[in-house]
A = this chain, B = another copy of it.
């Protein structure tokens, strides 16, 4: 696929099959996250790859819609460090985490691996499970895997038309 086709065709899904992800693909996913830019080059995002089965099970219980974490072929928690030296650090680190997440999910999708972010509704419990230092929190937990048979990885959730997304110069114009 061309880069633009990767970007526009990527859909979030948690419907995965059990095929494992090759080590070199996994490495490119992690590198893609590392290469995402950040405010003032602060590099505030870290990745915890959760492979331990009991730990995944426990993590899956920290969100309301996260049962799939227990069995996903690849689970990566995006951890944000306490913002420092940034304006509005709490917002800045979440924005930067989103940038890293998108890099990772696009690098995966370019190789046919689909993915989805997962909110940890009980964030402090999840942080404790992963042994995060004080002040760190989990932005989202990403799951990755090949699309389940019968699922194209592109569920038919339409987007608002482009005209509703875009304004010119001022809101409403």
Contacts and interface: CB of A to CB of B under 8 A. Distances in A.
Copies in the complex: 2
Interface string A2-23: 1110111111100000000000
Q: Is the interface of A mostly helix, strand, loop or mixed?
A: mixed
Interface in A92-125: 92, 94-103, 106-107, 110, 116-117, 119, 121, 123
A149 interface: no
Contacts of A98: 94-102
A121 B87 contact: yes
B106 A3 contact: yes
A170 to B, nearest CB: 4
28 contacts: A7-B106, A7-B107, A9-B35, A30-B165, A34-B160, A34-B165, A35-B159, A43-B160, A46-B166, A47-B167, A48-B169, A48-B170, A48-B171, A49-B168, A49-B169, A86-B119, A87-B121, A88-B119, A90-B91, A91-B139, A92-B119, A95-B97, A95-B101, A95-B117, A99-B102, A102-B102, A102-B106, A130-B170
